[in-house]
Chain A
């Protein structure tokens, strides 16, 4: 076994050992999940931001589940299983909820296309319409030429 593989193995064993130990879950890890969950007794507040007793208990539940080895996704899935997708502050980007993500951009794009279309029509008409309406007759043309010639002489 080469020295490099040995080093990698040692690192791996040490690493998993550290992760596997019942290390206390960091407040940040709890907060990260809590910030994505809607506080069920508040209006427009996340579980991370709410001072309510319920939110406090939910944060403790998040901490316990993380400490038990669950991944953040598994913890979120637990709350979704109990409260439905409603509990997630950001709806998932799939299924029907995908509409929430797509419609604003589609609307913006549609609006831009409409504006472009209208502006093109307007500018085209501005360019062509007056020329068609008043063609310069021969008399005017001669007058312009004469006056230009006079200006050159001065």
Chain B
């Protein structure tokens, strides 16, 4: 009797196959790695008032390699882990034509300034009080670091604490390119 319906015998394993494939795909992908549609596109322009009373504008930096780092003082431990690496990177690259900008998001002025003093950051740092720049850069959380080439295009986005190694690799590649 049952042999007359071979279709049914295979139906259940066949139905399970796509589910297993989907699960296999789902467990292999990192849900935190959301691809940014901004890679290769022109970096959104911004002008912000820095903590030390100055102004920083991306458009004025065309022709230079720019690293934009989004951070917050409450972002522990990742922002605290990467801060020394950022300070070292600034010392290494500030005289080689690289500009670094820190953008402080969803923070209060006092703890943010304390953070900057704690790590001795001397590159421009500015708050983004309305979150406009964060959304323009498709920021999900902190820290996120964007590497912008001389032509003003976003080339890489790094989610999580940036290391000396990653910073060096990205920036050296961009420095070799001619604007």
Task: Assess whether B35 is in contact with A84, with CB atoms less than 8 Å apart.
Answer: yes
A84-B34 contact given A40-B140, A114-B11, CB 8 Å threshold: yes
Q: Is chain A's interface secondary structure helix, strand, loop, or mixed overall?
A: helix
Complex partner residue of B138 from A83, A114, A121, CB under 8 angstroms: A83
Q: Is the CB of B132 within 8 A of A61?
A: yes
- Asked if A41 CB lies within 8 Å of chain B CBs, one says yes
Within 78-114 of B, Cβ neighbours of A (below 8 Å) are at: 106
Number of B residues near A (Cβ < 8 Å) is 22
CB < 8 Å neighbour of A57 from B8, B37, B130: B130
Return chain A residues, CB-CB under 8 Å to B34.
Answer: 83-84, 86
The closest CB in chain A to the CB of B141 belongs to: A41
Tell me which residues across on chain A come within 8 A of B132, comparing CB atoms.
57, 61
Is B17 interfacial (CB 8 A cutoff)? no
Q: List 26 A-B contacts (CB under 8 A).
A: A40-B139, A40-B140, A41-B140, A53-B131, A54-B106, A54-B131, A54-B134, A57-B132, A58-B131, A58-B135, A60-B131, A61-B130, A61-B131, A61-B132, A79-B135, A81-B37, A82-B135, A82-B137, A82-B138, A83-B37, A84-B34, A84-B138, A86-B34, A114-B7, A118-B5, A121-B4
